[in-house]
Chains A and B, each alone.
Chain A
Amino acid sequence: MAKVHVTTTINGEPSEFLCEPNDTMLDALRGPLGLTGSKEGCASGDCGACSITVDDNLVCSCLMLAVESEGHQLRTIEGMAQGDKLHPLQQKFLEMAALQCGICTSGMLVASDALLKRNPKPSEEEVRFWLAGNLCRCTGYDKIVRAVMDTAAEMRAQ
């Protein structure tokens, strides 16, 4: 089967790639685009380790066809820090030990960022339900929820 040429924007940069028609966006990110920060934990949209945003909507990149990215704005974990300046969520995850093995961390950060963009003052319950699509097996979520809420409070104070 002939490969498809796709033109899209990833982390603010114009990008082009070739993919099979049935490749997922996650396949394209991790394969031809070399962006391995998004992880495959299940390939069925249940673990959230592959979370990215498409035009500011949070999606599991394993549930999206790569060809569907044509003409859209994608953001991945690799675009979260601005140069050498971490996003406040990244900094807070480090300071509050909100990661252990790190395999869910990319997806957690992308999902948390999407939450705070929509809701700068989430309650603990809102954080927990927003992140319910991102599995973490190491932390019991405690430090992740605290880090998101602390970051939100700090960002509001600025």
Chain B
Amino acid sequence: MNVVTNNKWIGQRTIRPDGMDKVTGRAQFAADTNMPGMIWGKVLRSPHAHARIKSINTAKAEALPGVKAVVTARDIVDFTIEKGAVMLGIQDMRWMCRNVMAREKALFPGHPVAAVAATSEAIAAEACKLIEVDYEVLPFVIEIEDAIKPDAPILHEFNKFEGKPSNIAGRLEHKKGDIAEGFKKADIVIERTFTTRPVHQGYIEPHACLISVTPDGKTTIWSSSQGQFMVRAMTSLLTGIPQSDIRAIPAEIGGGFGGKTIVYLEPLATILAKKSGRPVKMVMTREEVMRATGPTSGSKSTVKIGATRDGKIVAAHGTFYLQAGALPGSPIRGAAGCSFTPYDIPNLLSEGYDVCSNRSKVAAYRAPGAPIGAYAVECVLDEVAEALKMDPLDFRLKNAAREGVKAAHGPTFPRIGYIETLEAARQSDHYKAPLGKLPGKLQGRGVASGFWFNAGGESSAQVNITEDGNVVVTTGHPDIGGSRAGIANICAELLGIDYRRVSVIIGDTQTIGFSNLTGGSRVLFASSIVVTQSTEQIIKTLRERAAKIWEIDPEAVKWEDGAAHPVSPNAGQFPPLTLKDLAEKAPAMGGPIGAGVQLNTQGADGGFGTHICDVEVDVDLGIARVIRYTAVQDVGRAIHPGYVEGQLQGGVAQGIGWALNEEYIYTKEGKVDNPGFLDYRMPVCSDLPMIDCIMVEVPNPKHPQGVKGVGEVPLVPVMAAVANAIYNALGKRFYSLPMSPPKVLEVIDTPAPRQAAE
């Protein structure tokens, strides 16, 4: 495939197709839709961290005037443990059915145990209080260290690890060479252990849905998610309604970051709607979002890296324990698979352990697992570089992966842009600028790199030419960060027309073909392939139509600047036929003009980024502030630079929150003690500086426009970049997140013995 050059719209900062609705308050998010006759659903949640459910009596709730339906686990399709895994993408339905409604046991405070639909939210909430649940309260465990002890309370007795009941639900490893031999060759070896706390995706829009089920079972779902097809499939599996009867309509989504790649409310609302015969609306409170959705894993990682005196890494070993929460499935693949990938390391062992504990089931969060692993690896690399007296970027350059290097997780790299990001960082104004000095404050600079796999997968598109000669593109992925704007640019470019003539919409499950989740940084990569192929088919049709009108060979017609032209004067002398002309003539020349393409897209190569962070630490208050930040990333091709920068800036902001403030705090009863935005402190506007972006463009040779996924890489390096900057400022290292003021003060005040290199 050839990369398009001399573009008119690709690379332009066009106005996004959905922008006008969003700046005027018209855009319909999940909670913004109502229906005649609609009633309200509410969830009763477990107060206990771990309890066997002996019985549930819903009689009093059902008798309350205004209550129309009650649901418990009995109403939801059971995927029994004994029958084995039923997978939907990466989700095992045995765990999903137990996550949307507790079955044998309640596994975390906030775990749904029943749901009620009533004529008002207040009555539904009142009815929840009337449901009698007989719990046998069990000992619980939350932290990884406690959960892997031999005498730990076991969440799932059926789960065995090394032959014994265990909370370790899975292990994976990536291996290359022989680390024992490799470490023998090292002149310097540094091994450190790190912990991170659970952090929430923090989308501002709580989960919400409105669902109508007609007496014949035809179901319509309005909800916000990262995939209407995922909503349809999971709802179908959990309710038994066939997919052909479920129309899942994607509302605008108010942020997801991975957290809306699974369902919570939709199966419950569907059954409540079916039982009551009324449309049911359910909206989570912020507290429910914080207690019962996401977050990502807390972690405990040990990383050992050995290098020779001349700065070559000869061996590395990483062990990453990640909290899965109540049910198996933590992102160990991202932690173990991504963390060492920027480097050409001959001897490597990277292991991940999936650990269940009594907190909400983990949900994907932007490059799931990779930021956790990179935090540990990139901090150790900083120490190794320091011990070798090498500049940290030079050290990374010396060991950087490049074309032809085989990554431990499998692939041999094609042309990649990691080295370009390091070189761009080294040459940036930021890296060359001196740090400032203020009384009572210490400034420092840190760098770190990161990798994410990126993804292709299934996508569908339909491109139609309207009767008046304009264009409607329908794709099947919810647009979180501006993908419609990118699609409009590409389609306009190919057709040679103004981008404002291209309308881009997201189809529902019954109007567009299957399209996989908005996740894995796959949407613009995959959807632009199917949109490009559809548009190319249309251009072929347009050329054929012009050829028919001119009575010449289609090969003698070219498409340029939005019109058909004879390829040369030899082909004939005809005035151009524009898209509008050909649309008007369509009825007489063969009918409507449109094309759809459905593919399982391939060729999504991984993405690399390198970040530079300056911090200023107030030594009296312990407050570390990021005062300058530059994110460098190989973005393949920036189809809409504004929204590519937006991905980089947003990822960095989330990483700064993870590094400095955000954490789940638990009470001694195992309940989340900070389930709101006041106490769960995400970065606000006054916490952050401008976030500079350097977009390196090494086009993806396997994509028609050179696109690489960009959304996830920018979260990967951030915590390490901030941690390395704080070390540079204070001369003291931190081995746990967040680096919040009390912890910073403690480290400043205690002359802790520094862990020495071997």
Contacts and interface: CB of A to CB of B under 8 A. Distances in A.
B622 interface: no
B481 A100 contact: yes
B649 interface: yes
B205 A39 contact: yes
A128 B653 contact: no
B286 A49 contact: no
Interface stretch (A2-10, A64-72, A130-138): A130-138
Interface stretch (B134-142, B578-586, B677-685): B677-685
Contacts of B32: 30, 36
B677 A102 contact: no
Contacts of A36: 25, 28-29, 31-32
Given A42-B676, A103-B255, A143-B642, A137 B25 contact: no
A94 B16 contact: yes
Contacts of B687: 132
Contact of A101 (B20, B480, B684): B480
B180 interface: no
A104 B253 CA distance: 11
A152 interface: no
A106 interface: yes
B25 A136 contact: no
Contact of B204 (A49, A133, A143): A49
A104 B22 CA distance: 9
B457 to A, nearest CB: 22
B496 interface: no
B730 interface: no
27 contacts: A37-B26, A40-B206, A41-B205, A41-B206, A41-B254, A47-B204, A78-B24, A95-B15, A96-B642, A100-B482, A100-B650, A102-B27, A103-B29, A103-B254, A106-B25, A128-B685, A129-B685, A134-B685, A137-B255, A137-B650, A138-B255, A140-B650, A140-B652, A140-B691, A142-B645, A142-B691, A143-B642
A135 B286 CA distance: 13
Contacts of B654: 137
B646 A77 contact: no
B255 A81 contact: no
B688 interface: yes
Interface in B198-246: 201-206
Interface string A99-130: 11111111001000000000000001101110
A101 B26 CA distance: 13
Given A101-B205, A103-B252, A128-B685, 9 more contacts: A41-B205, A41-B206, A78-B24, A80-B25, A97-B643, A100-B481, A132-B687, A141-B685, A142-B690
Interface residues of B, number: 58
Please classify how large the interface on chain A is, using the bins under 10, 10 to 19, 20 to 34, 35 or more: 35 or more
Nearest to A22: B122
B18 interface: yes
Contacts of B602: none
Interface of A: 30, 35-44, 46-47, 49, 76-78, 80-81, 86, 90, 93-97, 99-106, 109, 124-125, 127-129, 131-146
Contacts of A78: 24-25
Nearest to A93: B23
B646 A139 contact: yes
Nearest to B21: A102
Nearest to A99: B22
Contacts of B649: 139-140, 142-143
A140 B15 contact: no
A42 B286 contact: yes
Given A101-B252, A102-B252, A137 B202 contact: yes
A96 B652 CA distance: 19
B13 interface: yes
Given A47-B204, A131-B685, A138-B481, A39 B678 contact: no
A90 B285 contact: no
A21 B642 CA distance: 45
B257 interface: yes
A78 to B, nearest CB: 5
Contacts of B256: 101
Contacts of A96: 642
A137 B481 contact: no
B686 interface: yes
Nearest to B23: A90
Contacts of B742: none
Interface in B475-502: 480-482
Contact of B685 (A35, A46, A145): A145
Contacts of A140: 646, 649-653, 683, 688, 691
Nearest to A126: B686
